[in-house]
Amino acid sequence: MTDPRLARIEELLTLKADGQYGLHDVTQRQHALQAAWAAEREGGDAALITASLLHDIGHLVHDLGEAPAEQGIDDKHEELGHAFLAAWFGPEVTEPVRLHVAAKRYLCAVEPDYFGKLSPDSVLSLSLQGGPMSAAEAAEFAALPQAKAAVRLRRFDEAAKVKDLETPPVQHFLPYVAACLKPAA
């Protein structure tokens, strides 16, 4: 019997992720698959691959429409995603999801050329999310247990916006997701 949590995740990624991802020519599903595939190709463990697949799940569980940033709204999708996933996964999955926006702010603060690599919608959302971190914020972020995983996830996130890139399907990544699920209560 399939775990209902796994079935719910598959349902969200197959039935609710057809919307355009921000200002890009990819869907939410394509973005998630590209990020997870990048994590897999770079030797990420099951937790990083799962976090990469699910990092934007918060966009799929809120009611703000497809492009809230264009309306000047920070949808706080990282917090919504974390809250949605926390009952099912441990911090090795949920913390990189929660921290992937902070990781963008961090990278903009510590890597001089990172801001120039951001897509236009990432620049827009960055302005809504607090902009680059201060030196003190960056030091605090870097000390977090999952900071390195969040930074890796952030890099996969930024690269996962390639139109027509062939990736494995959602089902390919479900064994990683299943391996990370907390035991059913």
Would the pLDDT of 96 be above 80? yes
| Rounded Cα distance, 31 and 170, in Å | 11
Q: 155: phi > 0 → left, psi -120 to 50 → alpha, else beta; which?
A: alpha
* Superfamily grouping for domain 17-160+169-180: Hypothetical protein af1432 (1.10.3210.10)
Mean pLDDT of the chain: 88
> Is residue 151 packed enough to be buried (19+ CB in 10 Å), middle (13-18) or exposed (0-12)?
buried
Predicted pLDDT of residue 22: 63
Would the pLDDT of 1 be above 70? no
Predicted pLDDT of residue 23: 56
Share of the chain above pLDDT 70, in %: 88
DSSP, collapsed to helix, strand or coil, labels residue 17 as coil
Predicted pLDDT of residue 70: 54
List the one residue out of 48, 136, 131 whose CA is nearest residue 95. Answer: 48
pTM greater than the 0.85 cutoff: yes
- pLDDT tens digits, residue range 108-159? 999 989 999 888 878 877 877 888 999 999 999 999 999 999 999 999 999 9
| Rounded Cα distance, 39 and 100, in Å | 14
> Is residue 161 packed enough to be buried (19+ CB in 10 Å), middle (13-18) or exposed (0-12)?
buried
- pLDDT tens digits, residue range 29-58? 999 999 999 999 999 999 999 999 999 888
What are the boundaries of each domain within the chain?
17-160+169-180
Which range, 3-12, 135-144, 155-164, has the best average confidence (pLDDT)? 135-144
Q: Which residue has the tokens 């921000």?
A: 22
Structure confidence at residue 21 as a pLDDT band (50, 70, 90):
low
- pLDDT tens digits, residue range 78-89? 788 899 999 999
| Rounded Cα distance, 87 and 18, in Å | 25
DSSP, collapsed to helix, strand or coil, labels residue 20 as strand
| Rounded Cα distance, 125 and 68, in Å | 9
Backbone angles phi, psi at 27, to 5 degrees: -90, 170
Predicted pLDDT of residue 66: 56
Would the pLDDT of 172 be above 60? yes
Instruction: Specify the range with the lowest mean pLDDT, choosing from 17-26, 68-77, 97-106.
Output: 68-77
| Rounded Cα distance, 152 and 44, in Å | 9
Q: Which residue has the tokens 């399939």?
A: 2
Predicted pLDDT of residue 127: 78
